[in-house]
Amino acid sequence: MAVQQLGVVELAEKVGGALPESLAPDRPDDGALWVNAPKIADVAAFLRSDAGLDFNFLSSISAVDYISHFDVVYHLTSFSKRHTALMKTRLDGRYELALPTVYHLWRGADFQEREIWDLMGIRFEGHPNLKRIMLWEGFDGHPLRKDYL
């Protein structure tokens, strides 16, 4: 059985039922589960622990700079249920951006969150070791941002 991407409607239903007000409305219909930024860790914990979903593997975390806002994208995989899902959240503005960490759910988030902090400048609250990873401490700016030339 090949791996399927989980339909967003089904996913939203489950998550919305368990964690009301965690899903962000009015987001583009791109097959992703749009989550309110402060709730990201809660939703992640639900996705991780729910027996029917069981997303035990964090494939990747990416951040995209849209100038007016940032999107943070989580690619999740479930080894047992053989499905994947896309979870997104949006951070408005460009300064003092912060997001709850998922480090404690998936240890694999460690370096990726550090990388996003390093290169994109999004702080992950609760990450135990949020230092720069590719660049050195004291580097000025976050080079993957669109305004960094």
Partner 1 sequence: MSIRTEPMTVNIGPQHPSTHGVFRLRVTFDGEEIIEVEPIFGYLHRGTEKLAEERNYTQIVTLTDRLDYVSSMINNQAYCLAVEQLMGLEVPQRAKYLRTLTAELQRVASHLMGIGFFLQDLGTLGTPLMYAFRSREKILDLFEMLCGARITLSYSRPGGVFFDAPEDFWPALDQFLADFHSEFQELEQLVLENEIVMVRTRGVSLLPLDVAINGSVSGPTLRASGLGWDWRKMAPYDAYDRMEFDVPVATGGDNYDRFWVRIQEIHQSIRIVRQCIQQIEPGPTRADVPLVLRPEPGAEAYGRVEASKGELGFYLVSDGGISPYRCKIRSPSLMNLTVIEHLLVGWRLADMIVTLGSLDINLGEVDR
Partner 2 sequence: MDCVLAPDNILHDTLLFRVIYEWVGQLLPCGLSYAVAGIAIMLLLVNGVLLGAGGFSWLERRLIGRFQNRVGPNRWGPFGALQPMADLFKLLFKEDLVPRGADRIVFTIVPVAMMAPVVLMMAVVPFAKDTALANLNVGVLYVLAVTSITSIAIFMAGWASDNRYALFGASRGVAVLISYEVPVVMSLLGVVLVAGSMALDDIVSAQTVPFLLVQPMAFFVFLAGTSAELNRTPFDLAEAESEIIAGYHIEYSGVKFALIQATEFGAVLTSSAVMVTLFLSGWSGPFSDYLGWAWFLLKIGVLAFIFSWVRATFPRLRIDQLLAFAWKFLLPLSIINLFATALEVYFLRNDAGMLTTNDLWLMAGINFGVAFACLLTFGTLIQDKVRPAKSLTAASLSSPEVG
Binding site for partner 1 (CB under 8 A): 2-3, 28, 30, 56-60, 62-65, 73, 75, 79, 82, 86, 106-112, 119, 133-136, 143-144
Euclidean distance between CA atoms 34 and 18, whole angstroms: 15
From the list partner 1, partner 2, none, which binds 133 (C-beta under 5 to 8 Å, kind-based)? partner 1
Of 81 and 104, the one with the shorter C-beta distance to partner 2 is: 81
In sequence order, what are the residues at sequence separation of 6 or more whose Cβ sits closer than 8 angstroms to the Cβ of residue 76? 47, 55, 57, 58, 59, 84, 85, 86, 87
Contact between 79 and partner 2 by CB under 8 A: the answer reads: yes
Q: Mutual orientation of helices 40-49 and 8-18 as an angle, nearest 10°?
A: 110
Euclidean distance between CA atoms 112 and 104, whole angstroms: 13
Contact between 82 and partner 2 by CB under 8 A: the answer reads: yes
Q: What is the DSSP letter of 62?
A: E
Piece of the chain touching partner 2 by CB under 8 A; list 29-37, 77-85, 123-131, 137-145: 77-85
Minimum distance of partner 2 from residue 80's CB (angstroms): 6
**Where on the chain is the footprint of partner 2 (CB under 8 A)?**
79-80, 82
